[in-house]
Amino acid sequence: MISPCKHGERQPGRHDLVFVSPEGWRAILDARDDLAADSLLARWPKMRWPTIRRRALPCEATGFALGLPLPPSAGKKRVSLVVDIDHVASVARPPSLRQARAYAPRNWWPTLDRLDGLALRHAVEVRVFGSLAWQSLTGLDYVTDRSDLDVLFEFHRETDIDRFVADVAAIETDAPMRLDGELMGADGAAVNWREFQSGTSELLVKSLARVVLLGRHQFMSGAMGS
């Protein structure tokens, strides 16, 4: 289980886990009859499971926009929530690859270990989101035979990104699952690793606040955060 960082230590960013206080959950469930009647969602505050920060819609100008995906057994429903900032108890980064490994299918382990070793050599921090992350956070069955591995590669300016993504692509050729995911810079902006690896001159770069097209050099230099 993730150890959440202290509230106020950093603002929630893309893919961050947000832990809602008991008071916040009561406010959510009191206002949403559709959620209060869901037995699985009723377990969320009792188990102290997190939500995830998402990009707010234009109509969600106030509060924190959050979400959580339910497992395949519950129809893979995606639940959207908005909470007052005072009801955010704590925030944490997504699970590390090493933390999530024990919850992955055993035939995934060699690929996870190769990715972990690659990240270590390149000084890249590797985390997971998507089905494996939620399985590791809740213990519920999210990963199926058709699941992708969603990986977040957090790099530094000195990282040789071109070499790194080429090595990721090489690892995928022998992987039992599809490797999906993003490259994230220090400014919190991210791009799909496969799009970067394609060599395209412009990249679709996402942050918590917006989505823009940037040149490769702009993205790598952290232009979106300036």
Chain segment 199-222, per-residue pLDDT in tens: 999 999 998 888 999 999 899 887
Give the per-residue pLDDT at 180.
Answer: 97
Work out the mean pLDDT of the chain and round it to a whole number: 90
Confidence of residue 33 (pLDDT cuts 50, 70, 90): confident
Asked if residues 4 and 92 have their Cβ atoms less than 8 Å apart, the reply is yes
| pTM for the full predicted model | 0.90
Give the per-residue pLDDT at 14.
Answer: 82
pLDDT beyond 80 at 13? no
Give the per-residue pLDDT at 3.
Answer: 44
Give the per-residue pLDDT at 5.
Answer: 46
Nearest to 68 by CA among 154, 161, 133: 133
Give the per-residue pLDDT at 223.
Answer: 67
Q: What is the phi/psi pair of residue 4, to 5°?
A: -65, 145
pLDDT beyond 90 at 20? yes
Which residues have a catalytic role annotated?
A: 148, 150
**pLDDT tens column, 135-186:** 999 999 999 999 999 999 999 888 999 999 999 999 999 999 999 999 999 8
Lowest mean pLDDT among 4-13, 45-54, 153-162: 4-13
Burial track 174-183 (b if 16+ CB lie within 10 A, e otherwise): ebebebbbbb
